[in-house]
Structure 1
Amino acid sequence: MMNERNYSKVPVFENGMAQPVFPFTDGKTGADYNPETSSIVRYAVYVESDYDMDGDGKRDLVKAVVQVPRSAVEGNYKAATLFEARPYCAGVNEDGYPHMKEVAEKEYRYFDFADLEREVPARVPTGSIGAMELALQANPSDWYYPDKGNNDSMVYSNLDTFNYYLVRGFAVVLCGGFGTLGSDGFNYVGSDYERDAFKFVVEWLHGDRVAYANREGTIQTKADWSNGNVAMTGRSYAGTMPFAVATTGVEGLKTIIPIAGIADWYSQQNMQGAQRYWPKEVLNSFLAYYCSSRYHDESLSEKQLDDMAAFHHELSLRQLKCGFDYDEEFWGSGNYCLNADKIRCTALIVHGLNDENVSTKQFEMMYKSFKKAGRNVKLLLHQGAHITPTMSNREYGILVDGQFYDDIVNKWISYYLYDVDNHAEDMPAVLVQTNYDQKKWETAESWETAYAMNLACEETGTTVIDTDWEAAGVSAENFDERMALQSGNMNRRYMTSAFEEAVTIQGTVCVKLKAALKDGDAEQDFHPENRNDVDTLTMKLGDSSISGKMDDVEVALLLCDVCDEKFDSIQSVDPERNTIPVEKVKAGGVINGGDIPAFDEVEFATVHKNYRVITRAFADLCNPEAGYDPVTATNSIELKKGEYHDYHIYMNATRYTVESGHRLALVIATEDPVNCLIHKTYAVEIENASVEAKVPVTKDTDDRLIKADE
């Protein structure tokens, strides 16, 4: 514990950072929590939206949980806010997979999406209440109680995620958005409604919108402790919503720190007309249901519950009509890059280079959007998977170039929210952990490189690959290894010679090739099989009788680092490619300061193999026009046997150093069992001489020939 005499009533900044000078009391102590004496003032508010999604004749309210140092509420200073917008924080429906099977063949009433646009007048408050008075009435059960959809968790279990910032004088606000428990409306993934729910919270913090102290929406309350400056942060879904809100240009949002966030929902789930996400979760309605903890609101009538279910079912049907192609009506609102010109804030974008959950293309698309908007943007890239450099829920963290991750964020938001002159805005454009030595971090002044290494195939003739998993001896567990180390009936490797000196790849690799459908029963949709036990509704996503087109004749591309000798590398160890183990290197090595316990310092565990997948891509041969921009995957064609088409396939963004003595393997395959929703029977013919790749590199490097192995 800190000595009480070291506490301050106002933020203190030293070395460009806010210091831990505020006392802390836990907000999750149940009956022991005392709002009269708590050093952190906590309460819930209900922000009024512009929408009446659920059609009850009243504008929908959005619940937000507020945590703010008591001193700010007492009027000693105005606090800046760190805001996490995350549907999961209000609870989840853990039964997502069985639920999708239960509703696959169920009939629902038609839900007209035009009804979402109904306009109703704003409420008229009958009174007002201040933050302190509201907090004195509050109970931890407003924000911390068992999650009815997940018995092993608690609602707002991320309450502790930002304690580091609370003891340094920042306020912290958490919000689940529409369709979550305590809020009205429907969870509508990737929509303007979802985005605006969180924008409205920023507006309340800035003083531009009404919030209420109760669910009835009668007594208003203002964030009179707020200085109006907001930073949004969080990982995954909580890293996506900051970018979404940033593209509204909302007043008060000064900066965002998105971690593993999505820039475009289409290319998160698909890639150039092909499915790229895990097969059981490719319908937006799955995620919408998973996030809809409002189903557990015991005050709702059967009709209200049925309305939510009908809405989510209609969302499924709308996506089925798109197939795996981009459709502006369905995907446009979730393509935040289309509104890059509206961005007014800055960004510190954080992403793991081994993240196979949210693809690395997403951080690059965000980065390009902020550059297009002319805003200050930085990249912080680590070698982890789908994690935050400090994992507060697991009480560990990695060092970032010898620094604590939260200290880096502290400097960034101290500059943008409190105007501290610490030159945080001048940090390098790119700070990246190297793949060959995780203790080493390198910098670059731009993500774009001035150089490219071209790989061109010297082979003639053609290569035929098919989708026979059994003949290839391929499974989800061994796919990467088989693809990287040998050619077979499902894949062909195109190999470089060994590198005489190290070469660093940075950016997006583009592969060109000519390919044709060699064999397959197109009239029967290539005989689709459900190899991953997916519900029948999701399986209809590639059904030509619904979409009216040939769809998802997939190729998978991998760029691999291979070597005759085994080498240490950081890579995932599970079939889903989502887990990279960590090893403790120093107990209590990550200092939080103040009354907050330290976390353990960890490093990523390495594996000892003679291959490592650097980056990958998926593409549908039915979409030869598809390129980097998701909009280009709008048009598809009917493939004819023997009819060649030109393809430009863009792999996920990467930063990787190929060391001396290693070779690159460009692998062209058909189906990837890990990401395969619909197993089909077909064969593809590739013109070997057409295969080439443009590889962005950090220095002038000679072009190379690649050769197809047997």
Structure 2
Amino acid sequence: MPTRMRLTTWRPLATAAVAALMAALVTPTVAHGTPQESRPVHSYENAVREAVWVDTRLDGDGDGNTDRVAVDIVRPREPAQQGRKVPVIMDASPYYSCCGRGNESQKKTYDADGDVVQMPLFYDNYFVPRGYAFVGVDLAGTNRSDGCVDVGGRSDIQSAKAVVDWLNGRGKAYTTRTGTTRAKAGWTNGKTGMIGKSWDGTIANGVAATGVEGLETIVPISAISTWYDYYFSKGAPLYGTGPDWLSNRVNSPDARAKCAAVQQKLVDGAPRTGDRTPLWAERDYNKAASKVKASVFLIHGMQDLNVRMQHVGPWWDALAKNGVERKIWLSQTGHVDPFDFRRAQWVDTLHRWFDHELLGYDNGIDREPMADIERHPDQWVTSTVWPPRGTDTTTLRPAEGAQEGVGTLGLHKGTGTETFTDNPELSETDWAAHIDTPTPEKAGFASVPLTRDLRLSGSSKVTVTATPSTSTAHLSAVLVDLGPDTIRDYADAYEGITTLTDRTCWGVSTTGDSACFKETQAKNADVDHTIVSRGWADLGNHASDLTGAPLTPGKPYTITLDLGATDHVVPAGHRLALIVAGTDKDLIDPPSTKPTLKLDLSRTSARVPFVGGTAAFARAIAGSAAAAPEATPLDGVQAPRTVQRVPEGGR
């Protein structure tokens, strides 16, 4: 769809007289082009704090009454007294009572009247004084809401969409959970921006994909774009449990007592076979990207092994295809909020983004580079667009090397075969550490040392032709930068950050709601290789993304693995490697057997997006000595940590 028109505080007018009058009315700073911004002119201490229950028009718990979701509101008092209406920043979450939000696992707290005292995170403290309302929505089935959690399905999304509708005068809300006294949203102009990390950001994606009017922008942080890819990768299971477990984890006690039928639907609709059922189709927001009218400011960690980078590429591409205004930050962290890896810049950028998108301020943020990318810990670069112009896919082919079990990677035609046996006790870091040594659990292929830097930007695909020895087999494909570097230690429990004791304040505090949060700093690791991107598949899904089937031992099969999006520079002197193996420990579950697989290298390839395309790769390997540099063991990321799907421990 065409890019939507932006609202600004003024426009060129038809006559010189009117233009002169307008110039006289604006402040001198605006007249001289200084970027505008909202100022903290409203009292946070005197803000209105209230709760309403919005009718979702669904009866998820089957009790005969439509479910109402609890909506806690903090808004400035002065605009309403002056007859002015304010925009809304909204975080719809299942975590407000069970698990907490942010690095310090904050939960909502309430006063004796049931109005919110502490709203987690800094959004209300910072933005309410600047003329925004902040709205915290308990998803259906959580905290003080009716209904059942259905993990990204209709109930989850309608929980938040119904609130956007109410804010825009299209829905009903009540002053109590069961009462009949109606609550009106006459204090807002309906312009809403949704924000949130992980499940919260996922809800923002899902609501935007409904095309709901009034949702002007979303800021999804480490968010899911399709729930199938959270639990499976082309048939290969990523976790040992399904969405029923996650639903039960966040359901309120009331919901647990009422929601057995919903739980069973989650079990029945998400078979461990990895088949794509209607349940997953309902939870695929990529397919509805054409409905998105809101702008999108996306933030993700390139080493996020919880919500993996497979959720970024397809969503980003679908938004681009449909002309959605976009901005993106890509960090070296795992599943971490930008407030905890780039705090000052994050608050400033988010402030300017909401000012532009919700208040219509022409502050120039829409003319700045589209992408910020963390190249080294706390060292960021920008791209005018992302992926950069001139990025093109190059087909790299593996071949047998002079040493058995140690192959080459380049533009040449692939030749020969390689054989490996699945070993579920080893991970991608184990494989990469022994790239130049023949080992039975992987097939490794490396380029010659590069003579100039080579930048990958976007999503890669690896096509494999493999002959299994058993009726089941899982595959992993990993791109690796071979060479020393200092990176964020994403495999650590805190995924690339260390929490300090000092606090910094972002907004206004009250007795029950502090705006001061513990500072963080980068937790780094010295490494001799860096995992750039990875992907997985069940070979039984070779014929279909929808269903898998048993394999015939001794028969070759061809399948394409989708690797997560990335933006990474392989420096001159380093090598680019491709590893093909079986189970990637802690990242996918093993098959029921331990197959041996023979790769046909003439029918195996990697399609990698290089800035500059094939010519850039050819230049980077031109004139290189064939010998690999001497490896230097370093203390670094030893293995991916075992990922817990739940809630971030509040983070």
- Is this contact kept in 2: 1:480–1:613, CA < 8 A? no
The residue number in structure 1 matching 2:76 is 69
Relative to 1, partners in 2 of residues 1:21 and 1:484: Cα closer, same or farther, differing over 3 Å? Answer: farther
1:45 aligns with 2:58: no
1:421 aligns with 2:428: no
CA distance in 1, matches of 2:370, 2:397: 31
1:573 aligns with 2:517: no
CA distance in 1, matches of 2:428, 2:608: 28
1:309 aligns with 2:246: no
After the TM superposition, which residues 443-592 of structure 1 pair with which residues of structure 2 at under 5 Å, given as runs? 443-447=383-387, 449-459=390-400, 460-469=415-424, 474-475=425-426, 479=430, 482=433, 486-517=437-468, 519-520=469-470, 522=471, 553-563=473-483, 566-574=484-492, 579-582=495-498, 592=506
The residue number in structure 1 matching 2:197 is 235
1:701 aligns with 2:616: yes
CA distance in 1, matches of 2:428, 2:87: 47
- Is this contact kept in 2: 1:162–1:172, CA < 8 A? yes
Deviation at 1:272, TM superposition (A): 1.6
Deviation at 1:380, TM superposition (A): 1.7
CA distance in 1, matches of 2:597, 2:399: 20
1:613 aligns with 2:613: no
Deviation at 1:697, TM superposition (A): 1.4
State the secondary structure of the residue aligned to 1:412. helix
The residue number in structure 2 matching 1:151 is none
- Is this contact kept in 1: 2:394–2:609, CA < 8 A? yes
After the TM superposition, which residues 154-233 of structure 1 pair with which residues of structure 2 at under 5 Å, given as runs? 158=120, 160-233=122-195
State the secondary structure of the residue aligned to 1:667. strand
CA distance in 2, matches of 1:354, 1:339: 27
Relative to 1, partners in 2 of residues 1:249 and 1:512: Cα closer, same or farther, differing over 3 Å? Answer: same
CA distance in 1, matches of 2:201, 2:297: 11
Stretches of structure 1 lacking an aligned partner (at least 5 in a row): 1-11, 26-38, 95-136, 145-155, 298-303, 392-396, 527-552, 627-632
- Is this contact kept in 2: 1:479–1:672, CA < 8 A? no
Deviation at 1:67, TM superposition (A): 0.8
CA distance in 1, matches of 2:161, 2:560: 37
Deviation at 1:369, TM superposition (A): 2.4
After the TM superposition, which residues 232-271 of structure 1 pair with which residues of structure 2 at under 5 Å, given as runs? 232-271=194-233
Structure 1 counterpart of 2:193, which letter? A
Please give the per-residue CA displacement for 1:446-498, whole angstroms capped at 9, x wherever unaligned.
Answer: 326533343222323322211245xxxx4569646546564422111111111
Structure 1 counterpart of 2:190, which letter? G
The residue number in structure 2 matching 1:431 is 372
State the secondary structure of the residue aligned to 1:365. helix
Structure 1 counterpart of 2:378, which letter? Q
How many residues end up aligned between the 2 structures? 563
Deviation at 1:587, TM superposition (A): 6.1
Deviation at 1:668, TM superposition (A): 0.7
- Is this contact kept in 1: 2:487–2:525, CA < 8 A? yes
Deviation at 1:426, TM superposition (A): 2.1
State the secondary structure of the residue aligned to 1:458. strand
State the secondary structure of the residue aligned to 1:221. coil
Deviation at 1:366, TM superposition (A): 2.2
CA distance in 1, matches of 2:335, 2:436: 26
The residue number in structure 1 matching 2:603 is 690
- Is this contact kept in 2: 1:494–1:708, CA < 8 A? no
CA distance in 2, matches of 1:503, 1:583: 34
Please give the per-residue CA displacement for 1:123-164, whole angstroms capped at 9, x wherever unaligned.
Answer: xxxxxxxxxxxxxx97365546xxxxxxxxxxx762645422
State the secondary structure of the residue aligned to 1:701. helix
CA distance in 1, matches of 2:334, 2:438: 28
Give the counterpart of 1:333 among 254, 262, 282: 282
Please give the per-residue CA displacement for 1:553-574, whole angstroms capped at 9, x wherever unaligned.
Answer: 21111111112xx432223233
Q: What is the aligned-residue RMSD (CA, Å)?
A: 3.0
Structure 2 counterpart of 1:234, which letter? G
Relative to 1, partners in 2 of residues 1:647 and 1:316: Cα closer, same or farther, differing over 3 Å? Answer: same
Give the counterpart of 2:42 among 11, 22, 37: 22
Please give the per-residue CA displacement for 1:37-73, whole angstroms capped at 9, x wherever unaligned.
Answer: xx12111110011111222222111111111112134
1:353 aligns with 2:353: no
Give the counterpart of 2:85 among 71, 78, 85: 78
- Is this contact kept in 2: 1:86–1:174, CA < 8 A? yes
Deviation at 1:311, TM superposition (A): 2.7
CA distance in 1, matches of 2:204, 2:192: 11
Please give the per-residue CA displacement for 1:661-707, whole angstroms capped at 9, x wherever unaligned.
Answer: 11112111101220343453222111123332121112241346999
- Is this contact kept in 1: 2:332–2:487, CA < 8 A? no
Please give the per-residue CA displacement for 1:351-405, whole angstroms capped at 9, x wherever unaligned.
Answer: 11121111112122222222222221121222222112114xxxxx525xxx621
CA distance in 2, matches of 1:489, 1:701: 33
Please give the per-residue CA displacement for 1:249-276, whole angstroms capped at 9, x wherever unaligned.
Answer: 1111011111111111111221122123
The residue number in structure 1 matching 2:586 is 674
1:659 aligns with 2:576: no
- Is this contact kept in 1: 2:122–2:515, CA < 8 A? no
CA distance in 2, matches of 1:659, 1:443: 18
Matched residues, percent identical?
A: 25
TM-score, normalised to structure 2, is 0.80
Relative to 1, partners in 2 of residues 1:483 and 1:653: Cα closer, same or farther, differing over 3 Å? Answer: farther
CA distance in 2, matches of 1:262, 1:79: 29
State the secondary structure of the residue aligned to 1:18. coil
CA distance in 2, matches of 1:487, 1:599: 49
Relative to 1, partners in 2 of residues 1:487 and 1:164: Cα closer, same or farther, differing over 3 Å? Answer: farther
Give the counterpart of 1:324 among 274, 285, 304: 274
State the secondary structure of the residue aligned to 1:198. helix
State the secondary structure of the residue aligned to 1:190. coil
- Is this contact kept in 2: 1:562–1:610, CA < 8 A? yes
Structure 2 counterpart of 1:560, which letter? V
Stretches of structure 2 lacking an aligned partner (at least 5 in a row): 1-28, 102-109, 401-414, 629-651
Please give the per-residue CA displacement for 1:154-207, whole angstroms capped at 9, x wherever unaligned.
Answer: xx7626454221221211001121111221111101212211111000111112
Relative to 1, partners in 2 of residues 1:487 and 1:202: Cα closer, same or farther, differing over 3 Å? Answer: farther
Relative to 1, partners in 2 of residues 1:257 and 1:510: Cα closer, same or farther, differing over 3 Å? Answer: same
Deviation at 1:314, TM superposition (A): 3.7
- Is this contact kept in 1: 2:87–2:192, CA < 8 A? yes
Relative to 1, partners in 2 of residues 1:432 and 1:193: Cα closer, same or farther, differing over 3 Å? Answer: same
Deviates more, 1:416-425 or 1:657-666: 416-425
Give the counterpart of 2:330 among 365, 381, 386: 381
Relative to 1, partners in 2 of residues 1:331 and 1:654: Cα closer, same or farther, differing over 3 Å? Answer: same
Deviation at 1:248, TM superposition (A): 1.0
CA distance in 1, matches of 2:55, 2:39: 35
Give the counterpart of 1:287 among 237, 246, 254: 246
Structure 2 counterpart of 1:20, which letter? P
The residue number in structure 2 matching 1:124 is none
CA distance in 2, matches of 1:372, 1:465: 40
- Is this contact kept in 2: 1:434–1:440, CA < 8 A? yes
- Is this contact kept in 2: 1:615–1:653, CA < 8 A? yes
Relative to 1, partners in 2 of residues 1:676 and 1:374: Cα closer, same or farther, differing over 3 Å? Answer: closer
State the secondary structure of the residue aligned to 1:622. helix
Deviation at 1:236, TM superposition (A): 0.5
